[in-house]
Amino acid sequence: MKFSVVITTYNRLNLLRRAIDSALNQTIPCEVIVADDCSSKETEIYVKSLGDRVVYHRNQVNKGHAATVNAGVQKASGDWIKFLDDDDYLAPNCIEQMTKAIALCPDAVMCSCIAAQVDVNEVELSRTPQLGPGLAFYIPQADIHYGMLLEIVPFGTPVQVACHREAFWKTGGWDSQLDANCDDIDSWIRIAQFGHAIFINQCLAYRTIWPGAYNHKFSLSRRLDTNILMKEKIYNLIDGKHRSHIPALEDIKNYLKLHWTLVALKQGNLPSFMKMLDKSFFSLFAWWLLLTVICSRHSQISNLHIQKFVLIET
């Protein structure tokens, strides 16, 4: 099994250096690819100075995040793709631990892990929650979309996720129409049609929280609209065995509206709060669903057929 780490970048060389170092310093060898969305010459000069340790692709014109991911994967020769944005970085044993887990579930097409959120000084702010039992487990394909709908199996951002290259191309790659606004989640939804998912309950990735992050350029109302679109896609893919015990799609939409309205209120963004405030704020079922989702993130996964793995630490 061979891994390719695909690092996307655009004019953030100071951060890119750290991302590249984290990929090159993995405890087992992997291919490292830098996909550059037409940055200034500085980036090209630096990456080429690394020689054949790094495969370099540079877009001739700026094409956006999703298209740059696709260009990077096109250059990859690995069986598995590990995604990495330039402002994030990997733990040294990330690829090793993912390789061990995937070997125990050869029909998997996705693998995710716990990530730490850090500030610009690499001080840890929080971590994504542990899911399920043991150091690692898998969820059969038939259960994945149900888990995604109720947010009890969130795959997370690119720094947490790896996928099988063949499954990636079966979906046609990332959608440029979304471009950094749930383009990753949209990809996970579609890839999940082709195999099982693995979760590793170890912190193997680090995501930088800072004002320059890609998703900060979108308004809260636009993020709400895209979230609703993602839930609609997931809803249509849920296996028949779960259909009898899932909320109505309209209730899911009301829950999302409530969630993002509260985000606006928490941020003190009164214009967005007033724009998104509607009857969902006063829906008892929407509040119940919000509390259910919050509680499920901090409890053992239920209603899913999970298989615990035993990973041997080295």
* 127 vs 209: CA distance, rounded Å: 12
Which domain range does residue 240 map to?
Answer: 219-296
- Confirm whether 304 is domain-assigned: no
Question: Which pLDDT tens digit goes with each residue over 151-185?
Answer: 888 799 999 999 999 999 999 999 999 987 899 99
Task: List alpha helices for the chain, DSSP H.
Answer: 13-24, 41-49, 65-75, 94-103, 141-149, 165-170, 183-191, 220-237, 249-266, 270-276, 284-296
Which residues does residue 203 pair with via DSSP β-bridges, in sequence order? 114
Q: Which pLDDT value is given to residue 312?
A: 45
| DSSP-based three-state secondary structure for 291 | helix
How do 3-9 and 80-85 pair as beta strands?
A: parallel
Q: Which pTM was predicted?
A: 0.90
* 278 vs 255: CA distance, rounded Å: 12
Greater confidence (181 vs 133) lies with: 181
Residue 219, pLDDT > 90, answer no
- Confirm whether 308 is domain-assigned: no
- Confirm whether 309 is domain-assigned: no
Residues 6+ apart with CB under 8 A from 91: 22, 203, 204, 205, 206
Domain boundary among 164, 188, 216: 216
* 23 vs 158: CA distance, rounded Å: 14
Residue 310, pLDDT > 60, answer no
**Do 55 and 129 fall into the same domain?**
yes
* 27 vs 205: CA distance, rounded Å: 14
**Do 78 and 223 fall into the same domain?**
no
Q: Are 178 and 64 in contact (CB under 8 A)?
A: no
Domain boundary among 216, 238, 259: 216
